[in-house]
């Protein structure tokens, strides 16, 4: 999956969550969860786009870290939605799975970028000691 595919996927995730939060009950509980879900879901796509515009590998790693935090936070709020019976589990489960998948994809991407940065650093250190 390339960066354009992930940009589309994270945007779709944001839109799907925005659709979900419109179904939340107009109670204090529903409003709190809806606002938190809306904020962190839209943050996933926005921060992934920012990561794609990173000027360096360390900046990319940091920005992808934010995407991981936000997608994992989405999972938390969706688990809370299910466990508090704010919305039926079948309505939330598909999006919860997507949040978990996005978290895993971004975690893998960050590990790959970090390993690449570490290898580059090791090569530079070896070269400097010659």
Q: Where are the domains of the chain?
A: 3-128
Instruction: Answer yes or no: are the C-beta atoms of 106 and 71 closer than 8 Å.
Output: yes
Instruction: Answer yes or no: are the C-beta atoms of 7 and 65 closer than 8 Å.
Output: no
DSSP state of 83: H
The pTM of this model reads: 0.85
The pLDDT of 110-120, averaged and rounded, is 83
Would you give the distance in Å from CA 38 to the centre of its chain? 13
Computed from CA positions of residues 9, 13, 14, 16, in that sequence, does the dihedral angle turn out positive or negative? Answer: positive
pLDDT at position 130: 53
Instruction: Answer yes or no: are the C-beta atoms of 106 and 67 closer than 8 Å.
Output: yes
pLDDT at position 119: 73
DSSP state of 24: S
The pLDDT of 27-37, averaged and rounded, is 97
Q: What is the CATH number of domain 3-128?
A: 1.20.1440.60
Does the pLDDT of residue 128 top 60, yes or no? no
pLDDT tens digits, 50-61: 999 999 999 999
Q: How far apart are CA 42 and CA 70, in angstroms?
A: 9
Does the pLDDT of residue 18 top 90, yes or no? yes
Count Cβ atoms below 10 Å from residue 53 Cβ, excluding itself: 9
- Least confident range from 7-21, 87-101, 114-128: namely 114-128
pLDDT category at 124 given cuts 50, 70, 90 is low
């Amino acid at each position: 999956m390339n960066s354009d595919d992930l940009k589309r996927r994270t945007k779709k995730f944001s839109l799907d969550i925005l659709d979900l939060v419109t179904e939340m009950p107009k109670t204090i509980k529903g409003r709190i969860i809806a606002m938190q879900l809306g904020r962190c879901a839209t943050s996933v796509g926005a921060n992934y786009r920012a990561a794609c515009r990173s000027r360096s590998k360390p900046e990319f790693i940091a920005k992808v870290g934010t995407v991981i935090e936000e997608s994992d936070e989405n999972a938390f709020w969706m688990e809370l939605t299910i466990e508090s019976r704010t919305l039926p589990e079948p309505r939330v489960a598909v999006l919860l799975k997507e949040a978990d998948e996005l978290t895993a994809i971004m975690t893998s991407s960050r590990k790959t970028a970090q390993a690449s940065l570490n290898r580059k650093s090791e090569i530079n250190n070896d070269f400097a000691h010659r």
